């Protein structure tokens, strides 16, 4: 799989994960989101940016329970539940939000 972003070919895995994490950009995120049938809003970007920040600080993707705590502290209880995240990302934090955020595919994740 691949994306064409302004004439540059960005390689994705067969499942749509970014092959070279350094190629991530807003445009790449929008391309991956389109593949996931997600139109990114400010609420989506809050999750994408928090996921990227967690990865930058910890060197790994946040587990859903940990991520919910982070969201609750920053955005409140209404925006921290798994149901809320699934309402924005149909395949959830791990399979959809992290993919759009350009993070590595966790082990055991299809």
pLDDT 10s digits, 4-54: 998 999 999 999 999 999 999 999 999 999 999 999 999 999 999 999 999
Domain(s) labelled CATH 1.10.10.370 in the chain stretch across: 42-100
In the chain, pLDDT over 90 holds for what percent of residues? 80
- Known catalytic residues? 109
CA dihedral for 62, 19, 45, 95, sign (positive or negative): negative
Q: Where in the chain is the domain with CATH 3.30.1420?
A: 2-35
CA angle 57, 58, 62 (to 5 degrees): 110
Q: Any idea which fold 42-100 has?
A: Arc Repressor Mutant, subunit A (1.10.10)
H or E element, residue 59: none
Predicted structure pTM score: 0.90
The two three-digit tokens of residue 22, written as one number: 């350094």
Rounded-to-integer distance, Cα 110 and Cα 5, Å: 25
Cβ(52)–Cβ(99) below 8 Å: no
* CATH no. for 2-35: 3.30.1420
Mean pLDDT, the chain, integer: 92
């Amino acid at each position: 799989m691949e994306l064409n972003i302004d004439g540059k070919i960005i390689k994705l895995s067969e499942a749509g994960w970014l092959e070279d994490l350094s190629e991530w950009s807003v445009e790449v995120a929008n391309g991956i989101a389109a593949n996931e049938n997600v139109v990114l809003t400010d609420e989506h970007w809050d999750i994408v940016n928090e996921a990227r920040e967690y990865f930058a600080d910890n060197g790994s993707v946040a587990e859903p329970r940990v991520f919910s705590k982070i969201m609750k502290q920053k955005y409140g209880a209404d925006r921290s539940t798994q149901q809320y995240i699934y309402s924005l990302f149909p395949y959830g934090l791990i399979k959809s939000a992290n993919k759009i955020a350009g993070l590595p595919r966790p082990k055991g994740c299809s």
